[in-house]
Chain A
Amino acid sequence: MSEIVLELRGITKSFGNFKANDNINITLHKGEILALLGENGAGKTTLMNVLYGLYKPDQGEIYINGQKVNIQSPLDAINAGIGMVHQHFMLIPVFTVTENVMLGNEQVKYLDVLDRADTATRIRKLSDAYKLQINPDALVGDLSVGLQQRIEIIKLLYRDADILIMDEPSAVLTPKEVGELFLTVRSLVEEGKSIIFITHKLREVMEISNRICVIRAGKVVGEALTKDADVNRLAALMVGRPVDMNLTKSPLRAGKKVLEVENVSILGRQQKAEVNRVSFDVREGEIFGIAGVQGNGQTELVRALVGLIHPIEGRIKLLGEDITKASPRRITELGTAHIPEDRQADGLVLQSEVSDNLILNRYYLPPFAKKHLIQTNAINQNAAKLVESYDIRPRNPHVPVAKLSGGNQQKVIIARELSRPIKLVIAAQPTRGLDVGSIEYTQKRLLQLRDEGCAVLLVSTELDEIMQLSDRVGVMYRGSVIAIHNTSEIVKEDVGLLMAGVDLTNPQKVLTSQQLVDKSV
């Protein structure tokens, strides 16, 4: 194997009593793609922040090319040849690519005049060398998310980084863009760069990496060459127990229509149509998936379905009743369960106790309230029961929800929403940010509801999740549902193309606004 470019020895970092990193040893070879695999909160990001000089480790040493280095700040890290692509880009949209790249490291001609031409030439060279296809004169705001990510990469290359850290780089991309990212990553490696790829997605790990390092609870629990690795074993290592990754779906027994959405349009914040004449329906006993890249109108659509905002045109019917202008309470009372996209902002009152959160939408009904008085006993009984049956940890229902892990917070919402008679479940990004164990739990619960005859609307940006769970899939692109298919009759790649707005009948073309309106189903 080739030389070692980076070595972390015995890195330990504690926050109070909590050991985020516990004696971690990692090596990175030249020209290697090392996947750092672990659940949220496993300590991946802490480790990378240590490497990047954002945190000071309690113990441990960092060696670059065999030399011990002392990284005190990100500047030291950059000088040592380490670069990081953050999940959220740090770009200025009104600047050109060149200006963004040179920002903070400006090349000047005489009299401090910016030398844009020289920088642009270097960007062009880098772009050609790594097949990035970046036009240095383009305005960043006009570029797609995938291209913006490439600018972040160019920024690092421009600063001569040899070791690139990518923090969940695929989280914001369409499936097509992920494919392009992987091409870029490979060409970077061909040119001798070394890459640490942080992710919790097993599929990506298997596809892109050379070597895998699994981190759980701040410790390295397993290392393997990718060609020798087994997905189920990796998942078990990540979670710390065997995980059943295969979902078994019983045959579809769809009944009558529960939710009917007809020609619904919604105005967003800037008086711009965020949702454009969308129509679909969800029937009893089926999971209807809405696929789409984040920010294509799904959020607004869900908010309208649960009554938080009202459409400007169209009709929404629930069990035959028109709920277009109904209040959230009315919609809840009709039997809608809502698992919101932003669970901390919309789904919970973080500082309140678990027991209060478990009745947040039913506190005014018996047995929790009698004659407008809160019945503490009933609330406590309900909490004790749900904490037990939904396996919410810790078992104490009187701690603030804020103290629970993301997975357990989600369980609080699921327990509250599903522990009453329901006809329709609206689940928006139900597994986002959850660990593998909680994802497994949440997905199985949705399937179980479907089998019980509930109508399930699943909104997710995770294409795999949509394909695995849903019976029918609608693809949202720029506010329109551009296609609806039975999941069994369409391949994943085509759904991916649709998510990027590609017209399947003419794959060279991306749908224009006019076509979008015409194609609205």
Chain B
Amino acid sequence: MKKNFSMKSANNAIKIFFEEYSKTSSFYILAAIVLGFLFGAVLIILTTDAVYAGFRNSFWEGIQVSFRTMGKTLESIFVGAFGEPKRIISAFQNGDPQTIRIAINPFFESLTVSTPYIITALALTLAFRSGFLNIGAEGQVFMGGIAAVWVGFSTHSLPSIIHVPLTTFSGMLAGALWGAFPGWLKAKTGAHEVITGIMMNYIAVLFVDYMASGPLRDPAVFTPQTPPISEHAQFFRFFEPPIRFHIGFFIAIAMVPIVNFFLFKTIWGFELRQAGLNPQGAKNAGMNTTKLTIMSLALSGALAGLAGANEIQGISYFMNSLNFTSGYGRNAISLALIGGLQPVGAMIAALFFGFFTSASKFMSLRAGVPHHIIPVMQATIMFFIATPALIRTIFRVKKASSEETLITKVSI
């Protein structure tokens, strides 16, 4: 009984948070990004040995080195995300295709890295709009991946035109089923989707691990991994190596208007949004909330499954649970929030995040700055974005309960 109550109040707090979060303006988001950068800069200065060396010589030199380090870091983030302008120009002047490809690779690599984030951020946006926190997206990505691998390698005789979509759809289907189950549990038993979602994540990761090292293991390879998928199941790549940019990016971008249209132009989207805001009211208005709960989490899961299939068909071609530690599902929670629970916003947030992630690899090489700074900066930005709403939530929850205790105190 008591548990039930705290569950309910936790639920309420989440509700209040979203309500407060919806008041966050885009100005705050921009301000949070700037603040995140500044915080990152301070952190970089604090963790760079050269800065300390400079300060040992003289204060002025210390300051100079600090700024130089920061400048170098920002430059390397830019270069890592977009490529080095000088190099690109000279490569084009040179005309050697291989040189050009290497020069422009950072930009396309950033797009490639962003792709799964875009899809999972959309998945979370759809779930949030329906009133659910689909924390199980991570597991759905894994299930989508393993299903895509299985369909991808089990036949080599299908033509691409059939095999590619078949593989993608099977990934989506697996994700949808994996998402529908917590939805079904929620609708039938009231089990909270966050709890069941977290448990399903463990099951998914361990299941994939088992499949890759057991039934679906490639006996030809020493490490536990599945065989690669058929060439006919792979996504089309636009360039020769080293550029990995593939058609999955455009699939992800196409999903943005599709999700937007679904949410705001169809009656199903209307139902999901209203039921998301007030399930009881929606039920009273004649909507089938059981169906809606399962549908929203299944659709969200389908998108997450698409992200998994995208990674298999576009990048890795096989499943190795050690290399497939995605984090796409987890990061997507904050990306959807940064995007203001709007599909376009989710896309922008995911691109921003993807470019950053992609740049972090270069940063440690070029600027000698540990690449862990990037996740810290990302986390800081999230933190700054969520904080105003969080603070308002805490105060609202506190205010409500303090009013209660006041009254109790009084009448006792």
Q: A residues near B, CB below 8 A? A: 52, 54, 74-75, 77-78, 84, 86, 89-90, 103-105, 152, 155, 306, 308, 327-329, 332-333, 338, 340, 345-352, 356, 360-361, 363-364, 369, 372-374
Contacts and interface: CB of A to CB of B under 8 A. Distances in A.
Given A328-B284, A338-B284, A360-B285, A84 B266 contact: no
Contacts of B271: 363
B410 A372 contact: no
Q: Which 3 A-B pairs have the closest CB atoms?
A: A329-B286, A104-B412, A74-B410
A422 to B, nearest CB: 14
A338 B408 CA distance: 36
Contacts of A152: 411
Mostly, the B contact residues are helix
B395 to A, nearest CB: 14
Contacts of B59: none
Contacts of A364: 267
B284 A308 contact: yes
B278 A345 contact: yes
Given A349-B274, A373-B266, A328 B407 contact: no
A308 B280 CA distance: 10
Contact of A347 (B268, B284, B403, B411): B284
Given A328-B285, A373-B267, A352 B273 contact: yes
Contacts of B411: 84, 86, 89-90, 152, 155
A347 to B, nearest CB: 6
Interface residues of B, number: 31
Interface string B234-271: 00000000000000000000000000000011111111
B266 A374 contact: yes
A306 B407 contact: no
B188 interface: no
B284 A90 contact: no
A322 to B, nearest CB: 18
Contact of A350 (B278, B284, B410, B412): B278
Contacts of B282: 349, 360
B280 A374 contact: no
Given A74-B406, A348-B281, A361-B285, 14 more contacts: A54-B406, A90-B408, A90-B411, A103-B412, A104-B412, A105-B412, A308-B283, A328-B285, A350-B278, A351-B277, A352-B277, A363-B271, A373-B265, A374-B267
Contacts of A74: 406, 409-410
Given A78-B410, A86-B411, A155-B411, A372 B267 contact: yes
Contacts of B273: 352
B19 interface: yes
Given A328-B285, A360-B281, A361-B286, A374 B412 contact: no
A396 to B, nearest CB: 18
Nearest to B261: A373
Given A54-B406, A86-B407, A90-B408, A348 B278 contact: yes
A351 to B, nearest CB: 5
Interface in B179-197: none
A372 B284 contact: no
Contact of A372 (B268, B285, B287, B408): B268
Given A90-B408, A90-B412, A374-B264, A356 B281 contact: no
